[in-house]
């Protein structure tokens, strides 16, 4: 497995490297309007929270003959192994029942940005379909489940829909599920201010009582590494372009710290059948893409992204590339996120369990 060891010092050093730019940004706050848009779980239900715990499931030979898409049976088996290991439950349905209630309105946020040119590097329909089936097995009606993305090209790249204009569902997806694109403008909530910038989170996100985040592991030309956190923060608001300065640190952490987000996103599953270790996030150079044949699961987005950063650094080292810190792109927002109580960034305090399915 491709991995390097990330120390606490590397995280703090990365944060210090952007301190002068970040100082111009006001700290994240959850004002009254933000709290008004916080999600509340169904009465009597408490969602599972496991700070610092990450599960990785691998399965050699999990990819189809094209070397890009997972085999449906592999995605299903790996998801079940990841979720049962994470939650300690005996079945996939029982595992999902720790984060999703039958009365929930569910949004699933995949990531299709890297696949919009090649169709071979996006969150895969085989995994999204398995997640959707598990949610339905918990008791959520299909019509209360929405799969959403920023743009039509992004959603189409996931192959969850077969037509980018009509959003016609793929045959792999359970019948009755809804699909949406927000185009960075479909928002009903009141404006909140994050780091001095007014923003709103989009309707497919705020309409849900719980959000399931299905991210990828990618090098990012601005942020260094992006995975679980940025898929939510910059994929679910109306003006993501205004939150990229200073390597998007501390903006990613501050956007995630809002109550509208932290109250809503309950589970992070990373599709790491492939990863982009350089020249991301757009998959224009397949030589910078590598098979990883893995699924990761966590309720802690910070810990999951620290592990993802480690994976990307491992591939960079194997391919003779500088570290992200040496390249001036250390993902220092992770240390900020930990300071805001969003998760665990100290690699030594993260429990990574690795199994094969």
Q: What's the pLDDT score for residue 119?
A: 79
Q: What is the three-state SS of the chain?
A: CCCCCCCHHHHHHHHHHCHHHHCCCCCCCCCHHHHHCCCCCCCCCCCCCCCCEEEEEECCCCECCCCCCECHHHHHHHHHHHHHHHHCCCCHHHHHCCCCCCCCCEEEECCCHHHCCCCCCCCCHHHHHHHHHHHHHHCCCHHHEEEEECCHHHHHHCCCECCCCCCCECCCCCCCCEEEECCCCCCCCCCEEECCEEECECHHHHCCCEEEEEECCEEECCCEEECHHHHHHCCCECCHHHHCHHHHCCHHHHHHCCHHHHCCEEEEEEEEEEEECCCCCCCCCHHHEEEEEEEEEECCHHHHHHHHHHHHHHHHHHCCCCCCCCCCCCCCHHHHHHHCCCCCCCHHHCEEEEEEC
What does pTM read for this prediction?
Answer: 0.92
- Yes or no: domain 8-356 corresponds to CATH 3.40.50.11440: yes
Q: pLDDT tens digits, the chain, 357 residues: what are they?
A: 444 445 443 444 444 443 333 443 444 554 566 678 999 999 999 999 999 999 999 999 999 999 999 999 999 999 999 999 999 999 999 999 999 999 999 999 999 999 988 878 999 999 999 999 999 999 999 999 999 999 999 999 999 999 999 999 999 999 999 999 999 998 999 999 999 999 999 999 999 999 999 999 999 999 999 999 999 999 999 999 999 999 999 999 999 999 999 999 999 999 999 999 999 998 878 889 999 999 999 999 999 999 999 999 999 999 999 999 999 999 999 999 999 999 999 999 999 999 999
Q: What's the pLDDT score for residue 6?
A: 55
Q: What's the pLDDT score for residue 1?
A: 40
Q: What's the pLDDT score for residue 330?
A: 96
Per-domain boundaries in the chain: 8-356
Q: What's the pLDDT score for residue 26?
A: 44
């Amino acid at each position: 497995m491709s991995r390097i060891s990330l120390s606490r010092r590397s995280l703090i050093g990365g944060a210090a490297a952007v301190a002068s730019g970040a100082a111009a940004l006001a700290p994240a706050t959850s004002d009254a309007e933000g709290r008004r848009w916080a999600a509340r779980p169904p009465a009597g239900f408490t969602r599972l929270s496991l700070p610092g715990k990450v599960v990785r499931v691998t399965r050699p030979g999990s990819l189809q003959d094209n070397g890009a898409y997972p085999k449906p049976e592999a995605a299903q088996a790996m998801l079940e192994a990841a979720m049962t290991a994470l939650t300690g439950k005996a079945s996939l349905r029982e595992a999902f029942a720790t984060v999703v209630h039958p009365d929930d309105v569910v949004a699933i946020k995949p990531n299709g940005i890297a696949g919009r040119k090649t169709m071979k590097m996006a969150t895969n329909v085989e995994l999204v379909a398995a997640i959707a089936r598990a949610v339905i097995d918990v008791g959520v009606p299909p019509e209360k489940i929405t799969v959403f993305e920023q743009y039509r090209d992004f959603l189409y790249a996931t192959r969850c829909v077969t037509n980018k204009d009509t959003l016609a569902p793929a045959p792999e997806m359970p019948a009755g599920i809804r699909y949406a694109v927000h185009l960075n403008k479909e928002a009903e909530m009141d404006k909140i201010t994050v780091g001095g910038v007014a923003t709103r989170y989009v309707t497919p996100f705020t309409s849900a009582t719980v959000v399931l985040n299905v991210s990828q592991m990618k090098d990012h030309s601005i942020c260094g590494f992006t995975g679980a956190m940025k898929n939510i923060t910059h994929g679910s608001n109306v003006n993501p372009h205004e939150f990229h300065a200073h390597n998007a640190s501390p903006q990613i952490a501050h956007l995630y710290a809002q109550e509208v987000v932290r109250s809503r996103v309950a589970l992070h599953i990373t599709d790491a059948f492939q990863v982009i270790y350089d020249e991301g996030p757009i998959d224009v150079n397949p030589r910078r893409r590598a098979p990883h044949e893995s699924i990761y699961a966590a309720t802690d987005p910070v810990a999951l992204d620290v592990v993802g950063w480690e994976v990307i650094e491992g591939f960079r080292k194997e391919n003779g590339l500088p570290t992200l810190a040496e390249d001036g792109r250390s993902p220092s927002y992770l240390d900020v996120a930990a300071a805001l109580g969003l998760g665990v960034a100290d690699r030594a305090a993260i429990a990574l369990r690795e199994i094969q399915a």
